[in-house]
Amino acid sequence: MSRPARTHVTFNVKTHLVELVRLDGKQWRVVIDGKNYATFCSESRARVAGRTAAQLMAFGPLGT
């Protein structure tokens, strides 16, 4: 018996909520704190990009 494909993944990075939403086939949308961030062709790339962007957001604007 095979597992059904995941369509939605949610995780926290510091104080930010990162959501990965499967659009169709192999397209994944990254949503950070309810705002669309980017779309990727694989779940692993979307996960890394979402985690990295949320970590950068946690530090605030650079140079201040």
Q: What share of residues in the chain are helix, strand, coil (percent, to 5)?
A: 25, 40, 40
Residue spans of the domains in the chain: they are 8-58
Q: For the segment 2-58, what is each residue's pLDDT rounded down to a tens digit?
A: 677 789 999 999 999 999 999 988 899 999 999 999 999 999 999 999 999 999 998
Reduced to 3 states (helix: H, G, I; strand: E, B; else coil), residue 21 is strand
Residue that has been written with the tokens 């604007």 in this structure: 61
pLDDT band at 62 (very low <50, low <70, confident <90, very high): low
In sign, the C-alpha dihedral spanning 21, 38, 31, 10 is positive
pTM, two decimal places: 0.83
